[in-house]
Amino acid sequence: MSTIVTMPQKGLTEESAVIAQWYVEVGDTVKKGDLLFATEIGKATFDVESEANGTVLELFAEAGDDVAIKTPVCVIGTPGESYERLTAGAAQQRDKVALVDSVTATPVQIRTSDSAVEDVFISPRARAAAEHRGIDFTNAIPTGAEGRIIERDIDTLAAKRPAPKATTAEASPAEEDADFTIVPNSGIRKVIAKNMHDSIANMAQLSMTAYFDATEILAFREKVKKKGAEMGYGNISINDMILYAVSRTILDHPLLNAHYSDKEMKLFKHVNLGVATDTERGLMVPTLMRGDTKSLNQISLEAKELSAACRENRISPQALSGGTITISNLGNTGISSFTPVINPPQTALVGVCGIEWKVRPGKDGTPELYQAIGLSLTIDHRAVDGAPAARFLNDLCRRLENFTLLLAK
């Protein structure tokens, strides 16, 4: 008996997911546990395994397609076996998409002669597809409801369009001779691009930088390296200590531990730390929930596990949401300052810079060197003014400079 594989629901709110990659083709033999395809939901990627033994009889979607949750994506069974009855839902889903696309069509007036004007109805999806491909949609044969042009009509027109003939002067160089490589944007890159553009476009962002004396946290880290295991500590990093300090400081400055909208501010009673993580697929920000209730050791272990889950493509969509403030650490790159971009709808982001040697007057008046770390704070100026943001940054620096006292609270 054939088995229909549907798009699984990995999160609580998503309505669809993108097929990032197929691991099988029609005709392949699979067993339970074999990988069928990878799916992307926002920045999270999941591998979907086969729950049946058999042959892949049909694929209903291609890599890059955005497929509705619980819609059939492929069928596994015995060659020659009939499965049309089981896949009726796939056809209904495609018809439903076409119907919605058709119903939302808008009229466009075109001139058919010097005096005659005719209304052509085309759906938004079809119009976008035509513009993207450089196709004159007025040549499409409408198949949508009441004579509307829908997306599949553009696909049909594109398939019939002859390939342009390249002249000697117009011919493109062979790919191996070109001085560039075209790399299609991945799903996660598109999500990052949209989020970053929306953040800059919709916020009044302001950044400021302050330095703190890192002598104490560097000394504490050395102690943990040498004797931390005896006291139950794991591998405590500088970033762990900054996460801890932020979680103990931000609640004194509630406007920075908040979500902003045009109608209201949502001020949080706990600190959900966004931990910006660099991965091969792009920037991901998992959330360490209720950091203000956790010890330094707990924060360290949880932050490392979240980052590892991102890099290994096993993070859940839920773990990538809910943050109230984000920490982005570029210290290992050696930069001295940068302008972090806020993760909406949060109102602030703390950027951690590299360790630098600085000079200050010593006790006897002679110059002395010390190691300092810069913190670059970006705020949404719609929600927070410069002075309260500066007070938070100063408080954070002072607590990091007296880290052992902060631990004793």
Q: What's the pLDDT tens digit per position in 338-365?
A: 999 999 999 999 999 999 999 999 888 8
Averaged confidence pLDDT in the chain: 85
DSSP assignment of 123-159, as one string?
Answer: -HHHHHHHHHHT--GGGS---SGGG-B-HHHHHHHHH
Strongest mean pLDDT among 19-28, 38-47, 180-189, 245-254: 245-254
Among 375, 399, 352, residue whose Cα is nearest residue 251: 399
H helix intervals, 134-177: 151-160
* pLDDT for position 90: 53
Per-residue model confidence as pLDDT tens digits over 157-203: 887 766 554 444 444 555 566 778 888 777 778 878 888 888 999 99
**Strand, helix or coil at 198?**
helix
* pLDDT for position 167: 44
Q: pTM above 0.75? A: no
CA distance 154 to 225: 63
Per-residue model confidence as pLDDT tens digits over 221-242: 999 999 888 888 889 999 999 9
Share of the chain above pLDDT 70, in %: 85
